[in-house]
């Protein structure tokens, strides 16, 4: 088979000054691996409730070498759950990992009571029975643990999956939309291996965990066969701490079609795309001219120090054209969405979040303290001061008003829920659902080590 080529992946990390436990690493292996595409559970096609067992497993990142992992209904990651706007999805998460957890729907606009925050604790042996009302537009979201102090370890072990929301627009648009054929969820993570075995999470770590080897949907050095037409990748940065700059080998252009909370108004042509932890970006790659290698530069902790000549680079995914597959979408729709923009003049309240020194506004997370109170339905402007911390809040999507005094890039003018301003950014947002003192929403840094160490706050929407 043509994939059985010798691949020598040489990763020389230039970040030793930031993370002394990262060392130069040479990994060599003889063949690429078939990209794992998570099972699709369509909420319309399945009897509900959908059962998701959070369990221990063994996963072979390298053939014949089992690693101790965790996942939903499997050894690593979980099924992709397809949901539909204006429908309710009934889920039952059963905790079989022997330690407490929670399952947050990152990107879902739902009341605090069903958000899966640290207050929706699932004890070992318990089942969290939850019905999630989907009222938002088509978007790529994800689910992952969110228990105070355990999130980094549990996500690292493999507990994460995709929630894909569809609506009438997404189902009728001229875009790639056949799951597993020309539409793929792509969870990008970094892991370390010794003799092919994944290195366990260093419990108690408070500094960024940045590891040398990319793992895509639990697959090391993956390839995927695709039709000679447009291919859509729903890129999720599910890494604990790393940010990446994605590009196509040869700097070929591709199109970004969606931010975290929905489609852009029209595709934006790019040659590179930065994604910080927690962010999702949907891109479309034109496969009409043959095989494509999607690559990633590993960015330094501060994005504005990125150096394309010295940052380590790794392949994310080899896309191979298979002419036995019928070409599907060849003409990418140009009108993707209508975004009703907020008017800054309608802002009722402003807040500032200083995300630095392991704290937010000088405070560390306290499960018993509500840090902010927001009124439902009122437009707010939040100023996010963050040099290197991706800031995420629950329950809503926002629009970027400014980044370091200028307008946002064209590819960032859609709905978002995670934002790394690399300085100072202003966002406009309005909450539509309640979050009580019993089940407040969170805002936090999405570097999981920072989140677990307390770089998080709580707010109610009343
Ligand atoms: Cu942080």
- Residue 46 has a pLDDT of 75
Domain annotation for the chain: domains and CATH numbers = 34-169 (2.60.40.420), 173-321 (2.60.40.420), 344-461 (2.60.40.420)
pLDDT for the residue 301: 74
Surface-to-core class of residue 254, CB atoms within 10 Å of its CB (0-12 exposed, 13-18 middle, 19+ buried): buried
Whether the pLDDT of residue 171 is over 80: the answer is yes
Instruction: Output the pLDDT for position 310.
Output: 72
- When pLDDT is averaged across residues 62-87 and rounded to a whole number, the result is 97
Strand pairing class (161-166; 139-144):
antiparallel
Look up the pTM and report it. 0.92
Residue 344 confidence (pLDDT): 97
pLDDT value at position 459?
98
Residue 347 CA to ligand 1 centre (angstroms): 28
Q: What is the pLDDT of residues 381-398, one digit of tens each?
A: 999 999 999 999 999 999
Distance 243 CA to ligand 1 centre (A): 12
Give the Å distance between the CA of 131 and the centre of ligand 1.
Answer: 31
d(CA 424, ligand 1 centre) in Å: 15
Asked whether residue 5 carries a pLDDT value surpassing 50, the answer given is no
DSSP letter, residue 113: G
Compute the distance from residue 391 Cα to the ligand 1 centre, in Å: 8
Ligand 1 centroid distance, CA of 386 (Å): 9
Quote the ligand 1 centre to 183 CA distance (angstroms).
31
* DSSP 8-state class, residue 345: G
Pairing of strands 262-270, 292-298: unpaired
Centre of ligand 1 from the C-alpha of residue 385, in Å: 12
Ligand 1 centroid to residue 419 C-alpha, Å = 12
Residue-wise pLDDT tens digits, 21-31: 333 343 444 58
Angle 45-51-57 (CA atoms, 0-180°, nearest 5)? Answer: 120
Give per-residue pLDDT as tens, 285-339: 999 999 999 999 999 877 666 776 677 899 999 999 999 999 999 999 999 999 9
How far does residue 60's CA lie from ligand 1's centre (Å)? 31
- Which pLDDT score is estimated for 399? 98
- Residue range 245-258: average pLDDT? 97
In this prediction, residues 174-197 reach a mean pLDDT of 98
pLDDT at 133 over 70: yes
């Amino acid at each position: 088979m043509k994939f059985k080529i010798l691949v020598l992946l040489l990763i020389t990390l230039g970040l030793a000054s930031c993370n002394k436990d990262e060392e130069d690493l040479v990994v060599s292996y003889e063949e690429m691996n078939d990209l794992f595409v998570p099972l699709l559970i369509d909420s319309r096609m399945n009897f509900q409730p959908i059962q998701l067992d959070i369990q221990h497993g063994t996963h072979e990142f390298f053939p014949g070498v089992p690693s101790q992992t965790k996942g939903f209904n499997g050894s690593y990651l979980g099924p992709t759950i397809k949901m539909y706007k204006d429908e309710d999805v009934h889920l039952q998460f059963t905790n079989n990992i022997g330690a407490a957890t929670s399952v947050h729907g990152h990107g879902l606009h739902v009341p605090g009571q069903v958000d899966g925050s640290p207050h929706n604790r699932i004890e070992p042996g318990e089942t969290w029975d939850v019905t999630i009302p989907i009222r938002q537009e088509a978007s790529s979201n994800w689910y992952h643990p969110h228990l105070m102090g355990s999130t980094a370890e549990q996500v690292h072990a493999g507990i994460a999956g995709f929630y894909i929301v569809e609506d009438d627009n997404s189902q009728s648009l001229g875009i790639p939309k056949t799951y597993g054929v020309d539409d793929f969820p792509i969870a990008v993570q970094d892991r370390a291996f010794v003799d092919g075995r994944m290195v366990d999470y260093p419990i108690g770590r408070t500094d960024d965990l940045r590891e040398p080897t990319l793992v895509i949907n639990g697959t090391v050095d993956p390839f995927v066969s695709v039709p000679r037409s447009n291919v859509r990748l729903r890129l999720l940065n599910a890494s604990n701490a790393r940010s990446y700059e994605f590009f196509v080998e040869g700097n070929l252009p591709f199109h970004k079609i969606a931010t975290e909370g929905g489609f852009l108004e029209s595709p934006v042509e790019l040659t590179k795309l930065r994604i910080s932890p927690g962010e999702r970006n949907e891109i479309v790659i034109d496969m009409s001219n043959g095989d494509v290698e999607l690559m990633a530069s590993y960015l330094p902790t501060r994005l504005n120090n990125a150096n394309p000549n010295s940052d380590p680079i790794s392949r994310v995914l080899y896309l191979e054209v298979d002419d036995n597959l019928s070409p599907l979408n060849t003409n990418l729709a140009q009108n993707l969405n209508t975004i009703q923009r907020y008017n800054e003049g309608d802002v009722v309240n402003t807040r500032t979040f200083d995300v630095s020194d392991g704290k937010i506004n000088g405070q560390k997370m306290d499960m018993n303290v509500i840090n902010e109170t927001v009124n439902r339905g009122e437009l707010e402007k939040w100023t996010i001061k963050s040099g290197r911390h991706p800031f995420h809040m629950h329950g809503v999507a926002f629009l970027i008003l400014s980044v370091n005094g200028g307008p946002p890039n064209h590819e960032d003018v859609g709905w978002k829920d995670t934002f790394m301003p690399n300085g100072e950014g202003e966002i406009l947002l309005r909450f539509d659902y309640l979050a009580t003192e019993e089940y407040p929403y969170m805002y936090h840094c999405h570097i999981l080590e920072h989140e677990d160490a307390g770089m998080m706050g709580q707010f109610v929407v009343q």
